[in-house]
Homo-oligomer: A and B are copies of this chain.
Amino acid sequence: MAKNKQQNVLIIGAGLCGSLLALRLGQRGYNVSVYEKRPDLRKTKLSAGRSINLAFSDRGNKAMKLVGLEDKVKALCIPMHGRMIHDKHGKTFQSNYSGRDHEFINSISRSGLNALLLDEAEKHENVNLYFNKECLTVDFEQTTALFLDEENNKQFVEDADTIIATDGAGSALRKSYYLGHKFLFSFSQNYLSHGYKELSILPQQNGDYRTYKNALHIWPRGDFMMIALPNLDGSFTVTLFLSYDEGKYCFNNLETEEQVLEFFREEFPDALAMMPNLLDDFFNNPTAPLGTIKCSPWHYQGNTLLMGDAAHAIVPFYGQGMNASFEDVVEFDMVLNNFNGDWKKTFEVYEKNRKKDTDAIADLAIDNFHEMKDHVANPIFQEKRHLEIALEKAFPKDYASKYSLVTFNEHIGYREAMLRGRAQDKAILNLLADKEIDNHTDLKLVLEKVKKETHAILEDDRIARLK
């Protein structure tokens, strides 16, 4: 099925996934046209209050290796070795992400990384980028897309050999699938009861960080939480996750400056002391919802394909949104190796391989919401983490926690990481609850018991599924 002529690929959206995909397909020699509704972010300022920085880890780095950008991206990274947990009195303790020193996550600037990917994509003369072009609808039967040119307010149609939509959670292609009623389209959008608002901790006057730089800070409060990630300029981007309408404090009842200050004095006094700009941030920045989107099929024949958030938007609590989208490109690239030229087969096999894993990270991300806002402050959870770090230090080749499986084991798919990781968590928590292990038990024995119990849990589940 390989075709001789150079194929024209139209990419909708030049965000992180779209620009990486454009770069990779450019490297492979396709004629790539990218249409982005926003202005070129290398020339304008990103709108405030929307995911200024992101967590970057091994799955994302696998994609950077693929396109030869590992070193350039490393220069944008601030390592975060663990969670720095802040209690209501401002007392902190650090809980590392792994017992292996080389395993950590990074804080990275969304716009910095996106600009790098655009610069690199544009170096290929077969890649063309068009900004201020908003996709309105996609005719997936004709393989054409209708755009609005924001510069002259005129509409135009583009066609291509294939169209890949990386236009995020509000994808125009996905809407065309849904509203088109041309095939059975499974689709879900699920919102958490909580929204989020971005705030900031600015640098000290001398430019230094106001709190410990190399950690992801968490203020867990059971029903809600705040987190902070460092930026290269000495500031932190802070995100408050809070119910819209339930609890003593919620977004709907934080209406006055006095109410906001009272809330922060009561719940986050140490953060408040570092946030003289709190009220400006709070009342200027939007409150945004937290949604999960799943759908299927991602593709229509060999004409169109959804990728990245357009296919699977997830909540941010596992720090895997960007990493999952980057991994999409790696997985897609591998399938292209096998079916180059046959878009239908490529899209089919890609979705079959990939969807189980993006479904899994969506579910894991919701699990982690509860872990971050609540469980991290729970003694038995802390005991589990303590043991796991010790196991990872003592047996670096024989033990990986669920967090490590998901974050640092990019050779394992998210679904397998989820199944093994959940079984292992259940094993340790039950062994601790039944006092079969504790923090004084010989680690070799702990490892054996955890492995045995994890295996038994997976086996019991398998039998119950009648497989």
Contacts and interface: CB of A to CB of B under 8 A. Distances in A.
A6 interface: no
Interface residues of A, number: 28
Contacts of A460: 426, 430
Interface string A261-303: 0000000000000000000000000000101001000000000
Nearest to A457: B460
B463 A429 contact: yes
Given A426-B460, A430-B460, A460-B426, A380 B187 contact: no
Contacts of A289: 184
Interface string A178-215: 00000011111111000000000000000000000000
Nearest to A375: B466
A184 B191 contact: yes
A433 interface: yes
A294 B191 CA distance: 13
B189 A464 contact: no
Contacts of A188: 186-190, 294
B184 A187 contact: no
Contacts of A426: 460-461, 463-464
A381 interface: yes
Contacts of A463: 426, 429-430, 433
A372 to B, nearest CB: 13
A438 interface: no
A187 B186 contact: no
Interface string A418-457: 0000100110011001000000000000000000000000
Contacts of A294: 188
A44 interface: no
Interface in A128-158: none
A120 B380 CA distance: 58
Contact of A464 (B185, B186, B191, B425): B425
Nearest to A426: B464
A189 B186 contact: yes
Contacts of A244: 184
Interface string A6-22: 00000000000000000
A380 B467 CA distance: 11
Nearest to A195: B184
B466 A381 contact: yes
A378 interface: yes
Contacts of A190: 186-188
A392 B82 CA distance: 53
Interface in A365-390: 374-375, 378, 380-381
Contacts of A380: 466
Nearest to A179: B179
Pick the 7 closest A-B CB pairs, nearest first.
A188-B188, A426-B464, A184-B191, A186-B190, A433-B463, A186-B191, A429-B463
Given A185-B191, A422-B464, A429-B466, 18 more contacts: A184-B191, A184-B291, A185-B189, A186-B188, A186-B189, A186-B190, A187-B189, A188-B294, A374-B466, A378-B466, A381-B466, A426-B461, A426-B463, A426-B464, A429-B463, A429-B464, A430-B464, A433-B463
17 contacts: A184-B191, A184-B244, A184-B289, A184-B291, A186-B188, A186-B189, A187-B188, A188-B188, A375-B466, A380-B466, A381-B466, A422-B464, A426-B460, A426-B463, A429-B463, A430-B463, A433-B463
